[in-house]
Structure 1
Amino acid sequence: MNRIISRLFFVLTLLFSVGALAANQLDGVRIWAAPESTRVVFDLTAKPSYTHSTLVGPDRLVLDLSDTQSKVALGKIANNSKLVKRVRLSKPPAKGILRLVIDLNRPVNANLFSLPPTAPYGNRLVVDLEEKTSESKAIVAPPSSLRDIIVAIDAGHGGDDPGSIGPSGLYEKKIAFEIAKRVQAKIDATPGMKAVLTRTGDYYIHPNKRSELARKHRADLLVSIHADAFTSPNPRGASVWVLSMRRANSEIGRWLEQKEKHSELLGGAGEIIQNADNEQYLAMTLLDMSMDRSMAISHSIAGDVLKELGKVTDLHKNLPESASLAALKSPDIPSILVETGFISNPKEESLLKSSSHQERLAKAIHTGVLRYFETNPPSDSLIASRANSQHKVSRGESLSVIAAQYGISVISLKQANNLKSDTLRVGQKLVIPKG
């Protein structure tokens, strides 16, 4: 009898142990704060089964995780969020449920989803919180006859999204941010240009939001900075990417369905066509024109940047490539994505970690961007007012006639065009220096 009781006790103990092991375990909580949003990440040992609800008076988000246990000291979680007051436990509605409460400082919109294990993280439940605000409007610069050219610099990944990870454990998000800050400094030091960062710290921004931030600042260009990776350590070299025509067309279609955004995307023209009977066709025509112009500019800038990168590092692609990339989803804003090198290649990872190499890459990106805008400045920009104009030689024109027309000397005209003689040919383009 004693033996039977002992065996029964052993089986019950084993069953209890298996049940305990089967339960999900909350291993940690991480709060990533951005200026206008916050991401809360719950690290778990298995895929979560959960429900959630929002409550007011005070504002809070309640999470119920089935078959889950926790030993996390929630009171010690690092938190610099303006939206999240704290994360705490609460009395569960039933046995086996872990109830978590996110106390909020103000009303929010919440988006919840689970993520499977991806190095260096395991299973996760992600809670994205955004403050409830009225429709954001584009930042409008004060009236001025001349303006700065705005370049949005997008450091890829961030927060709980590390991007690719190098052999030594180097995160792509760190490399992208370091190079982005260097590019920003160079652009801000260029008279007539101004840079804005899509993220100013180590936090996550959804790819959809990155182009929206660029549009909000009325950017003339979006430059997204990344580091490439592959399953083997062999590939190396930088490349520059632009939006594919297929992705651009799908985005145009999505925009056409959002009539309330036509004025945002098309400026004053959007407001004019809003009440027109043929609004859809007119909007499509204007958006197509905007897309064609934007993609042509993107290809040109990509070529200039790639040419400069080739002077300071190996190139993986000798010509700009096109792809359906989330960071380049706005066909109304010229956009390029720069892969600064392969972080999965040990030698290249070491280079990307080097501050001197980061500086060379940043200088190459800046030089390529500046070259394009010096040659093709927006007409209302400060750079356009300083830029040299061009003159196409017509039949019967001479250097003296052209110099007199622009009020400059023949000597300065010859020097600006590196001319060794006074001979001109019809159709020749001459740079006209500022008088």
Structure 2
Amino acid sequence: MPPPSHLRPEPLISSPVTRRTVLKAGGTLLLSVFAPMSAMAAQILAVRVWPADDYTRVTLENDSILKATHFIVKDPERLVVDIEGLELNPTLKGLVAKIQSNDPYIKQVRVGQNRPHVVRLVFDLKEEVRPQLFTLPPAGSYNHRLIFDLYPVQEPDLIAQMIEKGDWSSDPNKPLMTDTHTPPPALPLPDSGKPPLVVVIPGVPATPTLPAVRPDPRPEQRPEARPQPGQKVVRMITVALDPGHGGEDPGASGRRGSREKDVVLAIAKRLKAKLELLPNMRVMLTRDADFFVPLGMRVEKARKVQADLFVSIHADAFVQPTARGSSVFALSEKGASSSAARWLADKENQADLIGGVNVGNHDKQLASVLLDLSTTAQINDSMKLGAAVLREIGGINRLHKGSVEQAGFAVLKAPDIPSILIETAFISNPEEEAKLTDNGYQDQMANAIVTGIKNYFAKNPPLAKSRMT
């Protein structure tokens, strides 16, 4: 006997109409699932702009990988960037206010929702540029980054820039280094109006003052020349100073918020000013403002100006705040001289990951320079320079180690330039952080390095180059 009708179960799908109703309900459910997914567009977390003479960098930090296309519009010059999978938000709108009036390449930027899920940036340019767009994976404290680098079409002449920015070329009374196959006279260290300190080299006669000669801004085109008997070779000494980190790469940080990139730039600028007061000395900074320079490009810049020395300036950090002291490092051909030196070199060599390098645009010749192990002569000279500088630094701060250490620092791999890396102090140590941000200590550190360089040249005169008088 069948059960009463009120107890019979209802069929799941009793008719085609009911089936369509269920399918429609399922479609509605799918739409409700995908609707929030489409609304979850990539989020811009921060925008940063790093203007510099070398190039201007624009960084968009975001929570996922972004895809962007770009093109140039002429008359007037504009760079147009379309970013997919993005909705306009207040952080991205803030890019407009980030453009500074003194930016060498960007006049202004306009930001708008070009179409659904596509944001368009239009950069009004001050001159023609070579744009490079690339993405970076998360590194250090950063999330995903979309990078726009705007380079000038005409690559700057670094030696001409030194002549333009330096005051050393305007003083006709400055004596020039001369080479008559004997060591040059010692270089005096200026001391605020006091008579210059001169290191006397036994057996080296005083050299008469020669008229200043403006260096040729195109050293690669200078004809090779050999000095005739009795001729003196005019010799400008070029020092490349390398303030570590910069721009996207802040370097180490202190408890009081001090950043390595700021401290070492301040010391480098003081050092540059003091070196340029010495006779026949000119200085190139690998960066003179807050922007990032890849490790290999720092080496390349020094080689382009035919530097006689390369000095990279840093402020160390360690996990323990008790670590303290100054150190000097040279390149090692066979491995680090200590586990601490190896650890530091590995950390410093990661700067490109944090600062952001367009790997696809690396110059093959530059890569070969970085991979080329420096000659034994270069390392020997670097050790001599390091010892001379370390001796002077030890007079103003405790030394972390009493001898020059060695490790595989990428920034020291110029095969033809004596190169050292100076850790001025531990910025992670509260006492030394206070020193590093003190004008007096920065001045003492710069003076110590100048004296070390001067003493190095007194015993190791630079070889003659091809400019004669």
| TM-score, length of structure 1 as denominator length | 0.68
- The reply to whether residue 155 of structure 1 matches residue 155 of structure 2 is no
- The answer as to 2:215 corresponding to 1:141 is yes
- Which residue is 1:127 aligned to? 148
Contact 1:115–1:126 at 8 Å: present in 2 too?
no
Tell me the equivalent position of 2:96: 75
Post-superposition offset of 1:202: 1.9
Aligned residue among 417, 424, 427 for 1:343: 427
RMSD: 3.6
Distance 1:40 1:98 in 2: 16
SS at match of 1:215: helix
Task: Report 1:362-381 matches (<5 A).
Answer: 362-380=446-464
Which residue pairs with 1:47 in the alignment? Answer: 64
In structure 2, what is the equivalent of residue 23 of structure 1?
41
Is the partner of 1:232 in helix, strand or coil?
Answer: coil
Shift of 1:59: 4.2
CA positional deviation for 1:300: 0.9
311 and 62 in structure 1: CA distance in 2 versus 1, 3 angstrom threshold: same
Structure-2 residue corresponding to 1:312: 396
CA contact (8 A) 1:48 1:66 kept: no
Q: How does 1:276-425 map to 2 (within 5 A)?
A: 291-380=375-464
Q: Is the 8 A contact 1:108 1:132 kept in 2?
A: yes
Structure 2 unpaired stretches of 5+: 1-27, 161-213, 217-221, 223-231, 336-363
Question: Unpaired segments of 5 or more residues in structure 1?
Answer: 1-8, 248-256, 266-286, 382-435
Cα gap change, 1:26/1:356 in structure 2, threshold over 3 Å: closer, same or farther?
same
Distance 1:19 1:54 in 2: 27
Out of 96, 109, 119, the residue aligned to residue 98 of structure 1 is 119
Displacement of 1:323: 2.2
| Mapped partners of 1:318, 1:172: distance in 2 | 23
Range with bigger deviation, 61-70 or 349-358: 61-70
How much identity, in percent, do the aligned residues show? 37
CA distance in 2, matches of 1:217, 1:91: 46
State the SS of the aligned residue for 1:24: coil
Query: How far did residue 239 of structure 1 move?
Result: 1.0
- Name the structure where helix makes up a greater proportion of residues: 1
296-305 or 205-214, which deviates more:
205-214
Q: Say which is worse superposed, 35-44 or 139-148, in terms of deviation.
A: 139-148
Residue number in structure 2 paired with 1:89: 111
Counterparts in 2 of 1:183-222, with a 5 A limit?
A: 183-222=271-310
1:195-251 deviations in Å (ceiling 9; x for gaps): 22222222222222212221222210010101011122121111111223269xxxx
Q: In structure 2, how many angstroms separate the alpha carbons of the residues matched to 1:356 and 1:363?
A: 11
Whole-Å Cα distance in 2 between the matches of residues 112 and 81 of structure 1?
21
How far is 1:322 from its partner? Answer: 2.1
Q: Distance in 1 between matches of 2:319 and 2:34?
A: 42
Preserved CA contact (<8 Å) 1:23 1:69: no
**Match for residue 232 of structure 1?**
320
Aligned equivalent of 2:50: 32
Q: Partners in 2 of 1:334 and 1:63 — Cα distance?
A: 46
Secondary structure at the aligned position of 2:83 is classed as: strand
Q: Which amino acid aligns with 1:78?
A: I
TM-score, normalization: structure 2? 0.64
- Greater Rg by CA: 2
Question: What corresponds to 2:266 in structure 1?
Answer: 178
Contact 1:48 1:65 in 2 (8 A): no
Task: Please give the alpha-carbon distance, in whole angstroms, between the structure 2 residues aligned to 1:148 and 1:134.
Answer: 24
Q: Residue 378 of structure 2 contacts residue 418 of structure 2 at CA under 8 Å; is this kept in 1?
A: yes
Secondary structure of 1:157 counterpart: coil
- Shift of the 172–245 alpha-carbon distance from structure 1 to 2, 3 Å rule, reads same
